[in-house]
Amino acid sequence: MEGGDSLKTALAWLRGVINGKIGHGLEARVLQGIRVTHAEKGFMRFDFVVPNTVSDVDGNWHVGALASLLDLIGIVTIYSFANRVISTVDFNASYYSTAKIQEHVEIESKVTANRGKLLHVVIEVRRKGNGEVIAVGKQWMASNKQTLAQ
């Protein structure tokens, strides 16, 4: 793991969310069991088994829970790059396949554009093993001087 203070802070924030110490509890539920497998400034990879708590009535990964995960992973990846709190200004999620609860997936997130106060991140969720794309999130985030990390 490389990337300095911004990466350490981003990962500490993620641990706080996962442990329910930060956020509203929904975030902890959505991220239950996620494991960081690689992290560097502006790039992260995760291993995840879809937990039972995020199931829809058919036993699939609920699309709302998946969207929340995409958003949270995007935020932590941007923070690792920019070292500041940033606001989402555009979020898009595309769903290509369903995933069942207890299915093993890989998540990869990468900052793809830096336009000064605007940053873009892409988050991909793939089926472990065959690499089939389940969902892709694209997120633009904006900052100003008031959003610097304390």
What is the chain's length? 150
Q: Report if residue 95 sits inside a domain.
A: yes
Structural domain boundaries, residue 7: 2-143
**How many domains in the chain?**
1
Higher pLDDT, 24 or 75: 75
> What pLDDT digit, counting tens, does each position of 117-130 carry?
899 999 999 999 89
Share of the chain above pLDDT 70, in %: 93
Q: Which residues make beta-bridge pairs with 109?
A: 44, 123
Q: Report if residue 148 sits inside a domain.
A: no
Average pLDDT rounded to a whole number, residues 134-143: 95
Q: Report if residue 20 sits inside a domain.
A: yes
Q: Report if residue 35 sits inside a domain.
A: yes
Higher pLDDT, 34 or 143: 34
Contact 22, 11 (CB under 8 A): no
- Output the domain CATH number for residue 105: 3.10.129.10
> What pLDDT digit, counting tens, does each position of 36-45 carry?
999 999 999 9
Q: Report if residue 150 sits inside a domain.
A: no
> What pLDDT digit, counting tens, does each position of 85-117 carry?
789 999 999 999 999 999 999 999 999 999 988
Q: Report if residue 32 sits inside a domain.
A: yes
Nearest alpha-carbon partner for 96 in 65, 59, 126, 52: 126
Helix, strand, coil tally for the chain in percent (to 5): 30, 40, 30
Burial class (CB in 10 A: 0-12, 13-18, 19+), 116: exposed
Question: Distance (Å, rounded) from C-alpha 57 to C-alpha 118?
Answer: 38
Q: Report if residue 13 sits inside a domain.
A: yes
Q: Report if residue 149 sits inside a domain.
A: no
Contact 99, 150 (CB under 8 A): no
Runs of H (alpha helix) within 1-84 = 5-18, 26-30, 63-82
